[in-house]
Structure 1
Amino acid sequence: MNFIAMDFETASGQRHSAVSLGIAVIRDNQLVDEFYSLIKPDADVTFERRNIQIHGIHPEDVVDAPTFPEVWQQIKQFYTPEQLVIAHNAPFDNGVLKASLTHYGLQPAHYLSLDTVRTSRKLYPQLPNHKLDTVSQALNIDLMHHHNALDDTVAAAQILVHEANEFGVEQIKPLVKVI
């Protein structure tokens, strides 16, 4: 399988408040490249305590970070109509990307999307839940620091590779959506 995995962390409930992004590039079921960046949100974005508790990123951590438009210039080549982009809880990450692009007046991204929460629910219904850490543990995937965007991205990528190897790509294809 060839795909891109992504994960965003946000400062608040505002979808355009991204503070970090992780991307993993998978070619022939192998991790071949990684990208991670902190992101400096707009000055009007307030960091919410709950979000900080989840990911540990504080306002002072992103003072010198690039803005979303600067990060987008580095990654936009990954978002093409024929590219599969996966995430664990993809509706959230797709929503952050869409809201950020809209907020900054950038062109919408069009790509294929797959949610590893959905694939895991379908393929591993016996699990008590389908959170990233639960699925990772069940599949013996090392999730280094949960809610670190890069670590979460790599774990999601490994989940999909594991699922494809165990069940076949044909079991996964019907869950792909066009964004």
Structure 2
Amino acid sequence: MDFCAIDFETATNDRSSACEVGVCVVQDSKIIETKTWLIKPPSFPYFSQYNIDVHGIVPNDVKNSPTFDEIWYEIQEMMYGTLMIAHNASFDAGVLRACLSHYGIFTPKIDYLCSIQLAKKSWNYLPKYGLKHLAEYHQIKFKHHRAGADAEVCAKISLLAFEKLFLTSNDEVSDYMKLKIKKL
């Protein structure tokens, strides 16, 4: 199983306002690397208080950080040729699309899957499918709403779901989840 899990935190309700991104790379069903970048968003120095209350990132944290276009090549290299998984993927894919569009960067052909959909197929008896709830259910501790930690927990939950569903290759995931896999 090869994929990358991705998570964004945003400064405002504008999807292009990414202020942090985390990418967790999984190869041969093992987490091999997790990387997090703080990002200076286009809205800088403005951050919505609501967003700060969620993730705790403030303008001062990102004042010397690169902008999204300055780190995209590194993110893209980590994601190259693999399935992208995110928890509530419509949000993260939307942030990625908006950031690429804002900076005039060509949108790569990336297939993505939502780990919530995967969790619902794996543990259809759970009352909630939020990242925090799934982590608690699987006794995984993490700092919620920080991009690297969220991406890594998304990867761990996805690996547990693949194991529960007896899915052992990307082709099997594509066949089993074909209606749920979207294109960026």
Answer yes or no: is 1:173 the counterpart of 2:151.
no
Q: Which residue of 2 aligns with 1:156?
A: 154
Q: Report the identity percentage.
A: 36
Answer yes or no: is 1:65 the counterpart of 2:65.
yes
CA distance in 2, matches of 1:137, 1:119: 17
Cα shift at 1:109: 2.2
CA distance in 2, matches of 1:112, 1:155: 20
Q: Which residue of 2 aligns with 1:41?
A: 41
Cα shift at 1:123: 2.0
Q: Are 2:122 and 2:164, in contact at CA under 8 Å, matched by a contact in 1?
A: no
4+ runs deviating over 3 angstroms: 170-173
Deviation track 1:17-37 (CA, whole Å, cap 9, x = no partner) reads 000000001011111112110
| 1:21-40 superposed matches below 5 A | 21-40=21-40
Q: Which residue of 2 aligns with 1:9?
A: 9
Deviates more, 1:55-64 or 1:36-45: 36-45
Q: Are 2:45 and 2:59, in contact at CA under 8 Å, matched by a contact in 1?
A: no
Deviates more, 1:69-78 or 1:94-103: 69-78
Structure 1: gaps (5+ residues) = none
One-letter code aligned to 2:2: N
CA distance in 2, matches of 1:83, 1:58: 32
How many residues are paired up?
177
TM-score, structure 2 as length reference: 0.90
| 1:109-120 superposed matches below 5 A | 109-120=108-119
One-letter code aligned to 2:14: Q
> Equivalent residue of 2:134, what SS?
helix
TM-score, structure 1 as length reference: 0.93
Specify whether residues 124 and 45 from structure 1 end up closer, same or farther in structure 2 by C-alpha distance, changes over 3 A only: farther
CA RMSD across the alignment: 1.6
| 1:109-148 superposed matches below 5 A | 109-142=108-141, 144-148=142-146
One-letter code aligned to 2:137: A
One-letter code aligned to 1:21: V
One-letter code aligned to 1:177: K
CA distance in 1, matches of 2:88, 2:78: 19
